[in-house]
Structure 1
């Protein structure tokens, strides 16, 4: 099995990933709906290299922020492992998993493939791709961190807790509909559906650009049928955030 990062689309496939994909027998890809836009993009990448895509219906997952979030994710991963295992046992050969962005950031593919490798007694490797934070920084022509300072990477569901804990320079992934209440004086560099035809970008002081950000999210969703956003939030100097 090969876990291949494909960035935000065909234009980001590296020569290393391209060569690896051409050596695979097929691509295994989750199908989340009948009009799954991310599956369609994976098909484009695979077809450019003459590799078949085998869609696997994605098991249901509790996305209502359950009390036992790690447990809900673990159950979902187990269901994915079982679904992929059936395909891999039937087909054999070398299978590729095409990861949106880079496999190292907020993606479950490596964890799933690790368990598949144990069950099937096969080897796997991982090749990197361009990540969403990288592309966000390039689009806005910024550096994600200030001089000699760190950048904290988190998810939208953890943002408020992380800010309350003192984080002041935060990349937020798995954005959802961002709740930026209390951060009106912070700066934001935001992007949705980066690298696709429905890409949207907004930057500025949160309080000033919030209406435009909402409109941009709506345009992205209308154009693609989905929104995948990522953004950098940075506190003003000497500011003490309030999320009351």
Structure 2
């Protein structure tokens, strides 16, 4: 996979994706979003990939927002289309992926950058990272799902406060309110993401995908319970279920085949 704005590699069943626009603080321009959309499709369609680690180049920024110059003269209709396309092809696509995405937040995660991290299933922050949604300082609001996902993660009151004040918060505060799962020193950031995925890689891939689908349905679907029930039932039809049970009875490690 060759990209202009991303560095990608697959190692030990993990797809590493680095947004590589360090001089622009890894800001999300149209080309970068297009490439991210392609990477998400690749991750979902590639059996070798069991998890994804997403980070930014350098130590200063994960993603410090969107490239404002690209849409500074947009009409309302163009703005809606920008948000709709971005949500469908990148942000929602990450959340609805069959593979777990771990955001390794190595620095500033602002605006679209924090929205990108929130779309991931797990967030790990370097101890010096800072996060925020500053859109109202530009006369905008978050448009890539930020108002929805922040509310889901931290609650309505805190989400409103962060969005309408546009204030940044530290990694410590982000962990305190449930915005990130873990804080680690910068040097340990990717290693912590790998540690989490090392456990996931030992589990049944189809069951992992089903579990994530059911959890996401709890906040995005009218009846998440029904989604869970149906996903639970489908697990019984998989070879991985039979292998998992056999391994348990035989007191050995399972060898899952994703079938």
Higher helix share: 2
Relative to the length of structure 1, the TM-score reads 0.24
Q: Which one has the bigger strand percentage? A: 1
Q: TM-score, normalised by structure 2?
A: 0.23
